[in-house]
Structure 1
Amino acid sequence: MASSSFGFLSLMLVVVGTLLGEYNGVSAQCETSIPSLVSQCSEYIRVPGPEIPPSTDCCDVVKSVDIPCICKYVTPEIEKLVSMEKVVFVATACGLTLQPGMKCGST
């Protein structure tokens, strides 16, 4: 169990590091807190595993995020860690309406 928790924490740190390291200022440009988004929603959007309905805390953060803005900064490296299909699933499960044809990463 401790190994699983360590793996989850490592994944979160890699995603945050990737987003913040490659795109210094993305939080300011998109008027959002990337660390909050990752800490509350990473278990619902990471690549391995099934789609899981997001928590209320995750939805609260997602509702405050400019998803189209963040999508501009998604790289192939991020897509190795974050499932864009799950991002869409979480956004819609949280009640957001996404524009048809919206591009997020390669999806």
Structure 2
Amino acid sequence: MMASSWAGMFILVVVVIVGVFEVPMARAVSPSECKEEQRLLVLECKPVILGRSPSANCCQRIRVTHWECVCPSVTPKLAALIGVERTIKQIEGCGRSVPHHFKCGSITTP
């Protein structure tokens, strides 16, 4: 698999990991804050794309990243490439509950 394909797939998994759980938001997040949250999430959760479980640092990042920053990026094409149920299990393994019927981009959780 080409490096660009791996990078695209990784970003997709990260988007879904963050996108399928609700994070209460006390205030609006600026575009620059969202960009930084996405950068940190990718940095901490890179091994997830290789099928590894999220690390403690990745789980912490998952718990604090605002879903509003990533859900708009979840297109039907991206959603078709990931295992939503596996991703939900990883999120729950990080101590987050995943709401049923949560809409994140083109994905709705079971």
TM bucket (normalised to shorter chain) is 0.5 to 0.7
Identity level (%): 24
> Quick one: which amino acid aligns to residue 65 of structure 2?
V
Alignment of 1:1-107 (within 5 A): 7=3, 11-12=6-7, 15=11, 28=31, 31=34, 33-44=37-48, 46=49, 50=51, 52-67=52-67, 69=68, 70-79=70-79, 82-104=82-104, 105-107=106-108
Q: TM-score, normalised by structure 2?
A: 0.54
**What is the identity, as a one-letter code, of the residue corresponding to 1:41?**
C
Higher relative contact order (CA 8 A, sep 6+): 2
Deviation at 1:34, TM superposition (A): 0.7
Tell me how far apart the structure 1 counterparts of residues 44 and 64 of structure 2 sit (CA, whole Å): 12
Q: Is the 8 A contact 2:47 2:53 kept in 1?
A: no
Which 4+ stretches in 1 moved above 2 angstroms?
A: 9-16, 26-32, 69-73, 76-87, 103-107
Q: Which runs of 5+ in 2 are unaligned?
A: 16-28
Structure 1-normalised TM-score? Answer: 0.56
**Cα deviation per residue 1:26-52 (whole Å; 9 max; x = unaligned)?**
9728846111112221331x3xx65x3
Find the aligned partners of 1:80 and 1:66 in 2 and give their Cα distance: 22
Q: Residue type matched to 2:71 in 1?
A: C
Q: How many residues get paired?
A: 89
